[in-house]
Amino acid sequence: MFRFLFTAVTVFFCIPATVCAKDIIIEMKNNGIDGVMVFEPSYIKARPGDRIIFKPTDKGHNAETIPAFYPKGATPLRGAINKEIVFTTKLQGLYGIRCLPHFGMGMIALIQIGSVKSADVDAAKAVELPPLAKKRMIAAIARIR
């Protein structure tokens, strides 16, 4: 009986997405699985309302949205160098993230919020990026699910 009540209460309070929002950490690193100057992980799928926390594990990095690489109506992200920044949004879609100093070295991440349409994926593929950033972005886009 108590177990049933607990489950019922949990389900009830978890209905608004923000109540059950998760914290997801993306580290900004000089070295990682994908090579040098990386966001790790470089692709995440989150739900609307989740808190995506960019952690300055190594110095000299920031996190910001790539211009024109986020859903229409979304607020661009602009993190300062060496500072943690929390990104949270209710707008579903794809968000391209870069570290400005290391954009040319391919320091990018892809955040998927909720479900995306094939038109969103095509638009993401069409965004012009420096060659190394493009290479990693294409690999991240391939992981969209």
Interface ranges with Cu ion (CB under 5 A):
61, 99, 102, 107
Compute the least distance from the CB of residue 63 to Cu ion, in Å.
9
Sheet containing strand 23-32, edge to edge, reads 35-40, 23-32, 51-55, 85-87
Residue with the shortest CB distance to Cu ion: 99
50 or 64: CB nearest Cu ion: 64
- Closer CB to Cu ion, 61 or 136, in the complex: 61
Distance of CA 107 to the CA centre of its chain: 13
User: Which segments are annotated as binding site?
Assistant: 61, 99, 102, 107
Cβ proximity to Cu ion, 107 vs 137, nearer residue: 107
Please answer whether residues 94 and 140 qualify as being in contact, where contact means their C-beta atoms are separated by less than 8 angstroms. Answer: no
